[in-house]
Structure 1
């Protein structure tokens, strides 16, 4: 997906809508103050929808009306909460949302989320990412014979960095252990992501542990 053809700011909070507009632009974005209004919009396929989870008429994630948004229409929905919770994030992502974030994230983070979603990937945030990586680490011992072929695609240093990242180490932790800069760590991780065909640390962890 190269980019959205339309944007929607779905919130009844004027301050939040202004925050999104200042951070993300799109002055001609559609506006919806309720799920009913959002559902009634005539959007081109592949719209990017910023959805305030505080809307009063949101149906349950299991409700089939959601399929109109991310089914054949192919819209990309970013669920935004002013009080984010991991369980809520998991429910939103499981239902089909392309991202979950704090509604009032700083402008830089919002733009980063927008870019990730536009490239077809999913945004889950660092806290939930760490939770899922911990889950992958717990599941790793259950894999009878993890494949090590992935490491043959990487240099020795890239493999070292990948293993530490897969175990949940931060860039700062990796930099200290390897006696390199955080910038170098990011470069090694970017190279590893590209060579292994993964897009984030969770996919890397699954690859390293032989789960994926």
Structure 2
């Protein structure tokens, strides 16, 4: 079955299904196995995949390449017990996001918006781990050069929003900390991405933390 511009929930957990329906949409197509998910994706499909499904293969299995190799398909890998190691494996396999399956509704919506915009979404813990690992691979002189230069073209507010986002803050948290609306946060981030020639928050985090 081919579905155009569709949302697909892949889970056999009725509690999780209700959580996703309440937080995202009740109009999603439902499948209860990994193999079934491969058969319903279509152009511009967004698949929310419960990694606790019994037949989800190991990340190195060819099944992932077959699923993630489909054009215009974006996969949000969802775990009830997320770990940084699994998150790195999910991103390396080609998933567009890795998150806690029971993330709060505001976070689910943010993940959806980020992924549909063609960006990568990861939680703050995993982002910090990737930043630390990347820093170890860079020479100190390289790091210093980028740190001194990244915000030169940004306004003070854009710099503040960028720094918070680069450290894993959600749009909602940035809105609260800066006393501005979430719509304004999105506008500032769009301006930051454009000025810095970036496409997602992970790239922003690497730039802000001095990793070229």
| TM-score strictly above 0.5 | yes
Report the counterpart of residue 178 of structure 2 in structure 1: 182
Report the counterpart of residue 5 of structure 1 in structure 2: 5
How far the C-alpha of 1:142 sits from its partner, in A, is 4.6
How far the C-alpha of 1:197 sits from its partner, in A, is 2.2
1:163 and 1:19 mapped to 2: Cα distance? 30
Structure 2 residue 87 is the aligned partner of structure 1 residue 89? yes
For the aligned residues, what is the CA RMSD? 3.3
In terms of mean alpha carbon deviation, does 99-108 or 201-210 score higher?
A: 201-210
Q: CA offsets per residue over residues 162-197 of structure 1, 9 Å max, x none? A: 8966995979xxx9xxxxx6347x699634333112
In terms of mean alpha carbon deviation, does 82-91 or 197-206 score higher?
A: 197-206
- How many residues are treated as equivalent by the alignment? 198
In the TM superposition, what are the counterparts of 1:96-135 in structure 2 within 5 Å? 96-135=94-133
- Rg: which structure is higher? 1
1:42 and 1:127 mapped to 2: Cα distance? 32
Report the counterpart of residue 46 of structure 1 in structure 2: 44
TM-score normalised according to structure 1 size: 0.76
CA 158–79 in structure 1, closer or farther in 2 if over 3 Å, else same: same
Q: Which runs of 5+ in 2 are unaligned?
A: none
In the TM superposition, what are the counterparts of 1:58-97 in structure 2 within 5 Å? 58-97=56-95
Counterpart secondary structure, 2:133: helix
Counterpart secondary structure, 1:51: strand
How far the C-alpha of 1:208 sits from its partner, in A, is 4.7
TM-score normalised according to structure 2 size: 0.76
Report the counterpart of residue 141 of structure 1 in structure 2: 139
1:87 and 1:30 mapped to 2: Cα distance? 29
Report the counterpart of residue 206 of structure 1 in structure 2: 206
1:71 and 1:132 mapped to 2: Cα distance? 24
Q: Which runs of 5+ in 1 are unaligned?
A: 176-180
